[in-house]
A and B are shown apart, each in its own frame.
Chain A
Amino acid sequence: MNRASAAGNGNGVDEVVLSARHVVKTYGGTQALRGVNFDIHRGKVTTLFGENGAGKSTLMKILSGVEQPTSGEILLHGETVSFHSTVDARDRGISIIHQELSLAPNLNVRDNIFMGREIRTGTGIDFAEEARQTQELMERLEEDISPFTPVADLRLGQQQIVEIARALSVDARILIMDEPTSALSASEVEVLFKVIADLKSSGVSIVYISHHLEEALQITDFAVVLRDGNITATAEVRDIDLEWIVRRMVGEHFSLGEAPSVDEFGPIALSIEDVSVADVENPQRSIVDNLSLEVRSREVVCIYGLMGAGRTELLEAVAGRVPLTGGRVVLNGADVSGLSISERIDAGLCLVPEDRQRDGLVQTMSVGQNLTLASLTSFVKGLFLSRSAEEARVQESIKDVQVKTESPAAPIGALSGGNQQKVVIGKMLATHPQVILLDEPSRGIDVGAKAEVFRLLAERAGSGLAVVYSTSEVGECLSIAHRIIVMRRGRISAEFGPHTSKEEIMAASGEAVVA
């Protein structure tokens, strides 16, 4: 905590432009922020590290006027200010890129960028000028996106670019970026980092939040770690490294585990044979192209690839969500290609989807109801569900996957991201699968929960399950997987054992190796 002020005073050029003093934010009976002091320096990138629920987004919402602090004050250039809305904050030069995209999909890129601050002429809107400026922004971000493309037609990464462009278009002096790269490709991230460097040199101060710790460290000047609503550490980046941050985030040394030792793998559980899947946006093209893969029981296989490599499509096709355009899926020697999702689940093949909010959870139901949703038919006694059998199963699942919840009847939305993910995994494990597919099981969950999820999967593999998981974080390949498959443009471009290097994996995926 004191290191920053020491560092700040040390060179004397760092000017604090915006700061939070003793900021407390209470929601109902719980404190999200417990007296936080936070400084933003002119022309520097201050990165906020912390697990889910640590209070990062809350702090950013207060600094950008989305929410007001319960107590404490905000100082802008040394003067106490209070922002009543985002417009208020924007007028004072503070702009935020939200982690949830806030674009109108029905409008085009230009109209989204100028939404709410249209350039007026006497009688209407100066569309030509808006389009020109949009074009400029896109050139700056090195994206080939027309101002007139409807946002709905853009892929997710491009939508994120538009979101970024909108924040840039304000000419903010302070720019807050909450997970701006979650959907960007490596090259897009590089461009964004170049833009950030430009902004810094023109004196713009940046607050950055990201789950990709390594990536964030590349551009960080000041690292601030938040845990349980308190700032636990602040440091200049030259004094620290990744491990220092992780230790202060989780309060302990951590590892994602290693491949469980197996004397001999079991028989082939899942066999993917020459599978092709059509690209939804362009049905002529195959997003998964004649791909074959065999997974044995007790084996953990990791599929690594960039966005658009076809990982999600492959897993969804195997699980029966999207139709195959070629090939077949064989489970324990039986062709399951023609079966529905529920028949495949019954046969022992299930998928934990990538987006748990959209595809994994039923938000209107309780934790317990979500946990048993996939295995309901096993609780039927006569016409009705047996409540006692169901409750016993819920308790067992909660213990099994270690969901931290006050009660099985709590609404699913009350859980943290990590615990929600454990519920989705627990739900599928309750169907007693032989093969479990997990699409980015670590997405949006904190390091601690990530380690727990991986430990659980490794454990299950030990007792006979075949596990296939996909990831876009190289670090996660080198954990519990016995075998690492790299996907590129719908095909397998390389296959590695557990003792490969990150560089090799990234090179095989077509990703530029970032120094």
Chain B
Amino acid sequence: MKRKQAERQQRRQQAMRAQRRRQIVWIIAGVALLAVVVAGILISQAPKPVGEFVTVEPTTWPMADGKAMGLADAPVLIEEFADFQCPYCKQFHDNIQGRIVADYVETGKARFEFHHFIVIDGNVGGNESRRAAEASECANEQGRFWDYFSLLYANQGAEGGGSYADNRLKAFAGSLGLDQAQFDRCLDSNKYAQAVRDDEAKARGYRLRGTPSLIVNGKAVANPMDYNQVQAAIEAALAAVP
């Protein structure tokens, strides 16, 4: 009798231990699930919505005409091929382009045209250069290419670091007072993806290898970062004009 009672007692204890073990496993699983949910929420929140960015004052661009500046029939055509993520392109914009515009575009001697040449995406991954290029086309659609162009360079950050994330590109447009809904629709629909690819095809046609590249009346300038070279190329082109 006593032995049977002891066995029953033992079985009961074993069952209770097994039940407690199952409960513990469920509790641990619950905690793990909670941890996964917390991590998921954090990840879904990143990157932060827009972040801070530099704004630029809209300015007057001499004889602005879409992605070009200057007289349509100017004797010299200067074509720039650049990538908004490329640091040297920003340097070109900051130090060289203004001088070309002042010396040759405003005086009616040359027309300056901008073209996209996406190189950084291929080096660092991501598609920020391409999206920035498409965004600039969307700004161009609203007649504000050059302001947007300056704003992009003013906010250039680490390559592939999220400076030109879509939500920021949209916020840039807002800061310039563009029609936000139209801009957002334009960017979301990849409307100008082909236009950017067409520019790239043009760059390949010139056998360009890097950015920024400058073509003066069909001839590449060896070092566009050296204003003396740029000036010499433009002067040579002007001299060759009949």
| Real binding pair | no
Q: Which residues of A contact B (CB under 8 A)?
A: none
Residue numbers of B with Cβ under 8 A of A are none
